[in-house]
Amino acid sequence: MSETAMNESSEQNESQARVYFPDPLPGQERFVAPIDETPLREVDSVDEDVPPTSMWADAWKTLRRNPLFIISAILAIVVILVALFPNFFAKQDPMACSLSNSLEPGRAGHPFGFDLQGCDVYSRVIHGARTSVAIGIMTTILVTVLGGLVGAIAGFFGGWVDAVLSRITDIFFAIPMILGAIVLLQMFRTSTSLWKIILTLTLFGWVNMARITRSAVLEAKNLEFNTASTALGSTPLRNLFRHIIPNSLAPVIVMATMSLGTYIVSEATLSFLGIGLPSTVVSWGGDISTAQNLLTTNPSVLFYPSAALAITVLAFIMMGDAVKDALDPKSRTA
């Protein structure tokens, strides 16, 4: 290309530039401040001395500022302490009953009065926490382990493994937990024990945990860290237990926390129906069942175990709700 043609092309480009980008009219001048005079550098700066925080650290920072979590945690700790050390809170024997004290009102050393059999209501409420809370915690642990493993294996391997485990889950999901527990316990009613209640509730309660875990694993296995671990030579099982499951624990923990109260209520329901624990075992459900006929004549006998059950279940449900909000990034505010 000649020098004349290049000059013509340059003039044409300048002409087009003047057409598409005209000079500003009076009053429309643009001003761009120097970067040193703007606060962008301070806003976008990162303190490199501060260590990076994890999801759990951020969740704990949110939880300890949440009044709902603080209140529910205090209530849950008190209930667990009562369940672990009932003799520290109540000196009376819950099975020491005297008909001479039948339906007597509260007095010194017996603040809640006596039930129909002359048993100390306060002592039975305190000692009943051990049975109800123990069943709730042990059932939650077994449900989390069983349902978590089934859901993790189904979501990670997929294919026919997912199809078979999902169909088994659907079968148990179609059976209501309380109805299935009633039928199963009636079949083995000759010897009802604490572990029989726990295993029965676990048998019909693991399906929700399996579904939650499966969804979390399906989401986590497609993330970059799983691909990077596989590229470095990690085996599928190592990826599952070392990387996938730890990164899928948030919804599992939320589900377990909220389900604990459900299993405590389930035990109380079975004992209330007379097919749970025997009368020789002190539990809130059994006391509620015994006192139901006294609702109109002496309601306080029914009120105290019912209030203890309601407060315990409410504490764990509120805690689960607070944990859910803390582990959900969408619910956090800056």
Judged against a pLDDT cut of 90, whether residue 140 lies above it is answered with yes
CATH number of the 70-98+121-331 domain = 1.10.3720.10
The pTM score is 0.78
Task: Decide if 209 contacts 148 (C-beta within 8 A).
Answer: yes
**Least trusted range by pLDDT, from 80-94, 126-140, 269-283:** 269-283
- The percent of residues in the chain predicted with pLDDT above 70, rounded, is 80
Residue 4 is predicted with a pLDDT of 54
pLDDT digits (tens, 9 = 90+) for 73-90: 999 999 999 999 988 988
Residue 14 is predicted with a pLDDT of 47
One-letter amino acid identity for 282? Answer: V
**Helix, strand, coil share of the chain (percent; to 5):** 70, 0, 30
Residues 6+ apart with CB under 8 A from 71: 318
pLDDT digits (tens, 9 = 90+) for 237-276: 888 888 888 888 888 988 898 888 889 989 888 888 888 7
pLDDT digits (tens, 9 = 90+) for 141-192: 999 999 999 999 999 888 899 999 999 999 988 888 888 888 888 887 766 6
Task: Decide if 261 contacts 310 (C-beta within 8 A).
Answer: no
Max CA pair span of the chain: 124
* d(C-alpha 33, C-alpha 132), whole Å: 69
